[in-house]
Structure 1
Amino acid sequence: MSQLNTVWNPQNLPSDDNIPDNTYAFCIDLTRPWFMSKGAMIAYYGQMNFTALTHGLQGQLLHMVAQQFSAPLYLSDYVVVEGSGKLIIGDRGYDINSYDLEDNGNLTIRAANLLAFEPNLSLNQSIVPGFVTLVGTGKFLASSNGPVMFVEPPVRVDPEAMVGWADCPSPSHHYDQAWVSSFIAAAGHRFGIRSGEERQFDFTGAGTVLVQSSEKVINDQNIVREISGQLPGLSTGGLQQINAEIQQQLGQNQM
């Protein structure tokens, strides 16, 4: 019987690894609490409790969250899973990979891609909208739209293909105007029409950049949330300008 036709049980499931011949599911051998993205659990064997970070925390769990979770914008997106057994997680058919941060490492990742991480890693909000930063030593799981490539700076990356970066400075935006060579392209630029070929993340220095094999972002709700969080501080004129831009983009998307 091939791995694809195997009937899995606690005895033959892998320990802290992808299900064999299946990059879309990962099995955690749960022996201590993990932070996990809501909705990532597919199935589990054993005894486990799933507690939302926004309510129900007490004692050591409350202390752990207060110490390790410094990203209040994302509190409602995660639960703490504790207990023992085999925990199988997935993310809508996207590839899942396991990564290890070593020697008090530092990695920034798109929030929508982060599925789970060990509690000895701390989570912080990044200054880059839609991204979070993991700091410490430990394991985390992330999904991607296709296999992940690891590249070294200096490099420029399409923002939609970006998964994260480790041990290197935050990127700057680079805008390549050379391709805007006709009146139509120039007009499109004037009205906000952009592509990954025009706008890139520019990485310099040492480190590693994680790039998925697709230009399609898994989920943009975290970016929307961060933008929404800035709206209360805007003037009426600023809100009206943003509303006009949104209406324009909606009109272009419907063409």
Structure 2
Amino acid sequence: MSQLNTVWSPMNLPSDDNVPDNNYSFCIDLDQPWFMSKGAMIAYYGQMQFTALTQGLQGNMLQMVAQQFSAPLYLGDYVVAEGHGKLIIGDRGYDINAYDLEDGNLTIRAANLLAFQPNLSLNQSIVPGFLTLIGTGKFLASSNGPVMFVEPPVRVDPEALVGWSDCPSPSHHYDEAWVNGFIAAAGRRMGLNSGEERQFDFTGAGTVLVQSSEKVRDDSSILRTIQGHLPGMSVPSLHQINQQVTQQLGQQQG
């Protein structure tokens, strides 16, 4: 019987690894709390409970979240998984990989971060839609296809970028030479961009994680980042944003 036809049980599931011949699921031996993205759990054996970070936390668990989870815009996206047993997670058929940080600093797209051990601290990145993990421990991330590791200097399509480790945050690079025709210029005015026109520019030392496609999981992190800045904006700025939103809606619905 091949691995694809195997009937899995606690006796033959792997320990902290992908299910054999299945890059789309990962089995955690849960013996300590984990932070986990809502909806990532697909099955489990044993005794476990999943508590949202926005409710029900008490005592040591509440203190752990306060110390390790410094990303208030993302509190509603995660739960704490506690208990003992085999926890199987997935992400809509995306590849899942485990990564180990050793006194490291890694920034990852928020939509790709599935789970991480609580000895890692999580912070909001200055780049909208990304989170930064700091410390020593294991985390799990999904990607649309296998992940490639590349070193700077390199320019990356924003939709292919998964994250970066131990290097400065990227800057935006716009290749104006590519937009040299009337159709391309009109497309840009209509808000149509591509990796050939806009890239993230990485310099210095470190490692950049790139998925082997340009498909980004839909997520609400960018929306929440914008909403988080709205209370501090002036009335003229809010009117300008409202006009731009109305224009974009008209173009997409027209």
What's the TM-score bracket when you normalise by the shorter of the two chains?
over 0.9
Structure 1, residues 24-43: CA drift from partner, whole Å, max 9, x if none?
Answer: 10000111111111111001
What is the DSSP-based 3-state SS (H/G/I as helix, E as strand, rest coil) of the residue aligned with 2:159?
helix
Contact 2:190/2:251 (<8 A) preserved: no
Q: Percent identity?
A: 81
Structure 1 runs of 4+ with >6 Å offset:
none
Q: Which moved more, 1:219-228 or 1:172-181?
A: 219-228
1:179-232 alpha-carbon deviations (Å, 9 max, x no partner) = 111122223334433212111100000100001111111123111110121122
SS, match of residue 111 in structure 2: helix
Match of 1:170, SS state, is coil
Match of 2:18 in 1: 18
Would you say 1:248 and 2:247 are equivalent positions?
yes
Equivalence map 1:135-174=2 (5 Å): 135-174=134-173
| Preserved contact between residue 120 and residue 136 of structure 2 (Cα < 8 Å) | yes
Residue 243 of structure 1 and its aligned partner are, at CA, apart by 2.2
Q: Are positions 1:36 and 2:36 aligned together?
A: yes
What does residue 229 of structure 2 align with? 230
Residue 169 of structure 1 aligns to a residue whose secondary structure is coil
Q: Compute the TM-score of the two structures, normalised by the length of structure 2.
A: 0.96
Which residue does the alignment assign to 1:133? 132
Match runs of 1:100-111 below 5 Å: 100-102=100-102, 104-111=103-110
| Uncovered stretches (5+) of structure 2, i.e. residues with no partner | none
Alignment of 1:114-125 (within 5 A): 114-125=113-124
Identify unmatched segments of 5+ residues in structure 1. none
The residue type paired with residue 20 of structure 1 is: P
Count of paired positions: 254
Correspondence 1:168-247 to 2 at 5 A: 168-247=167-246
Aligned partner of residue 159 in structure 1, secondary structure: coil
**Matches of 2:171 and 2:221, distance apart in 1:** 20
Give the root-mean-square deviation of aligned CA atoms.
Answer: 1.2
- Give CA deviations for 1:163-187 in whole Å, capped at 9, x if unaligned: 0000000000111100111122223
Cα deviation, 1:118-162, whole Å, max 9, x if unaligned, reads: 011000000000000000001000011111110000000011111
SS at match of 1:160: coil
Bigger CA drift: 50-59 or 189-198? Answer: 189-198
In structure 2, relative to structure 1, the CA distance for the partners of 1:219 and 1:190 (3 Å cut) is closer
Aligned to 1:49: 49
Secondary structure class of the residue paired with 1:232: helix
Measure, in 2, the Cα distance between the counterparts of 1:213 and 1:243. 36
- State the TM-score, normalized to the length of structure 1: 0.96
Alignment-derived partner of residue 64 in structure 1: 64
